[in-house]
């Protein structure tokens, strides 16, 4: 041992003792409380508030033993809903929740997390292809894209089917041709591919636009139609939806995330899966309630035939998925994994 490297054995022993004490200190809750402010792309009227974001916040605070506290402000309180993703990335807020990073406009890979057209059928399938099966792990692609945008993906929930809610009957995909419907991002890709005319507008404008006849319906998460009072202006819900498992994500500013201790980060990552399945179950209950409210209002729930679902899936894979893949290299890789997932599932049946 060279003299200039270690002067005395006692110095090495002291350094080791200090290092060990730090390690022990980090193996549990820190003394200081970290306070975060989140603003999602939605407010308290959205199903994602009570059934998605707030349960996750409560789980994080419990898992970190109160050393991380999160204040949630509704869209518009700090920035607009459309600006919320960028605000979290820039560090103006500590976190964000929303859909496909506002349908993939801010981060194309968000469309993979939002859900593919006629892709995963339910919560279990979505988890398998995104995180649960090491043969797929599409979630790693989304996480890499999030980190590149100064964010960490920390939460996820299946809001149930994203479906068509219309003033006209839809029993086959050709019935969408020529109809004007509110649709954004991947919804617009799907609707235009089916021959429809997508119209972009803010969520708060949809009700009036349908009532006035400006549009003939909207794409929306099924569990949220009663929250938006859509049952008052639409006549039909078309199930199982163009996206049978529509998801919402939660992201944390990367600097805020890295400022936590290893213990805190481990605890927060540890609630990802359990909150996913719990909040997805809560949303599923909301879906049934919303559809019943539509029926009670005189509306009709149309279930597409298995043959029509198969036709729609085939067209989606052939024509919609390539448009999603073209948005980024990560999307292209994710789409191929989704294809493999469906092929493996078909071969297993």
Q: Per the structure block, which two tokens stand in for 323?
A: 């448009």
Distances from the Cα of 26 to the Cα of 19, 20, 68, 132, 244, angstroms: 11, 10, 15, 29, 42
Question: What does the DSSP 8-state code read for residue 317?
Answer: I
The predicted pLDDT at position 102 comes to 64
Q: In what order do the strands lie in the sheet with 68-72?
A: 68-72, 34-38, 95-98, 247-253, 151-158
Q: How far apart are CA 347 and CA 349, in angstroms?
A: 6
d(CA 201, CA 193): 19
**24-79: pLDDT as tens digits:** 345 899 999 999 999 999 999 888 999 999 999 999 999 999 999 999 999 999 99
**Helix-strand-coil split of the chain, %, nearest 5:** 50, 15, 30
Instruction: Check residue 31 and report its DSSP letter.
Output: S
Predicted local confidence at residue 109, as pLDDT: 96
Residue matched to tokens 């005319």: 197
pTM value? 0.88
pLDDT of residue 136: 98
H-assigned helices in the chain:
9-26, 47-48, 54-63, 84-90, 100-103, 110-114, 123-127, 138-148, 186-193, 206-212, 254-258, 262-270, 272-296, 306-315, 321-325, 329-348
Please classify residue 140 by burial: count the beta carbons closer than 10 Å to its beta carbon, then call 0-12 exposed, 13-18 middle and 19+ buried: middle
Query: Taking Cα atoms as reference points, which of 247, 251, 248, 255 lies closest to residue 96?
Result: 251
CA 63-68-69 angle, to 5 degrees, is 110
In 3D, which of 127, 114, 70, 99 has the Cα closest to residue 281?
A: 127
Q: What is the Cα–Cα distance from 96 to 25, expressed in whole angstroms? A: 30
pLDDT in tens, the chain (349 residues): 333 333 333 333 343 343 333 433 458 999 999 999 999 999 998 889 999 999 999 999 999 999 999 999 999 999 999 899 999 999 999 999 998 776 657 899 999 999 999 999 999 999 999 999 999 999 999 999 999 999 999 999 999 999 999 999 999 999 999 999 999 888 999 999 999 999 999 888 999 999 999 999 999 989 888 888 999 999 999 999 999 999 999 999 999 999 999 999 999 999 999 999 999 999 999 999 999 999 999 999 999 999 999 999 999 999 999 999 999 999 999 999 999 999 999 999 8
The confidence score (pLDDT) of residue 60 equals: 98
**DSSP tag of 104:** T
């Amino acid at each position: 041992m060279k003299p200039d490297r270690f002067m005395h054995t006692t110095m090495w022993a002291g350094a080791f003792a200090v290092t060990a004490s730090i390690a022990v200190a980090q193996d549990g809750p820190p003394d200081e409380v970290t306070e975060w402010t989140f603003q999602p792309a939605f407010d308290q009227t959205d199903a994602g508030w009570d059934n998605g974001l707030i349960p996750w916040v409560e789980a994080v605070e419990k898992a970190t033993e109160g050393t991380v506290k999160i204040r949630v402000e509704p869209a518009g309180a700090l920035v607009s809903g459309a600006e919320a993703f960028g605000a979290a990335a820039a560090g103006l807020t500590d976190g964000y929740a929303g859909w496909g990073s506002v349908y993939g406009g801010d981060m194309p890979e968000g469309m993979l997390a939002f859900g593919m057209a006629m892709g995963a059928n339910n919560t279990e399938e979505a988890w398998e292809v995104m995180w649960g099966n090491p043969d797929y792990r599409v979630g790693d692609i989304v996480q890499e894209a999030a980190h590149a945008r100064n964010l960490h993906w920390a939460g996820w929930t299946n809001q149930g089917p994203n479906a068509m809610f219309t003033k006209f009957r839809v029993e086959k995909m050709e019935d969408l041709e020529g109809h004007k419907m509110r649709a954004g991002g991947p919804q617009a890709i799907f609707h235009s591919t089916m021959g429809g005319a997508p119209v972009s507008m803010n969520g708060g404008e949809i009700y009036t636009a349908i009532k006035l006849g400006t549009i003939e319906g909207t794409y929306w998460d099924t569990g949220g139609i009663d929250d938006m009072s859509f049952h008052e202006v639409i006549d039909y819900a078309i199930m199982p939806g163009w996206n049978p498992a529509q998801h919402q994500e939660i992201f944390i500013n990367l600097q805020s995330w890295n400022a936590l201790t290893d213990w805190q980060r481990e605890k927060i990552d540890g609630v990802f899966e359990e909150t996913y399945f719990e909040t997805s179950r809560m949303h599923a209950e909301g879906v049934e309630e919303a559809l019943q409210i539509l029926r009670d209002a005189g509306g009709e729930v149309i279930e597409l035939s298995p043959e029509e679902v198969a036709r729609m899936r085939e067209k989606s894979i052939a024509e919609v998925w390539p448009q999603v893949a073209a948005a980024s290299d990560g999307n292209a890789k994710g789409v191929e994994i989704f294809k493999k997932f469906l092929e493996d599932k078909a071969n297993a049946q």
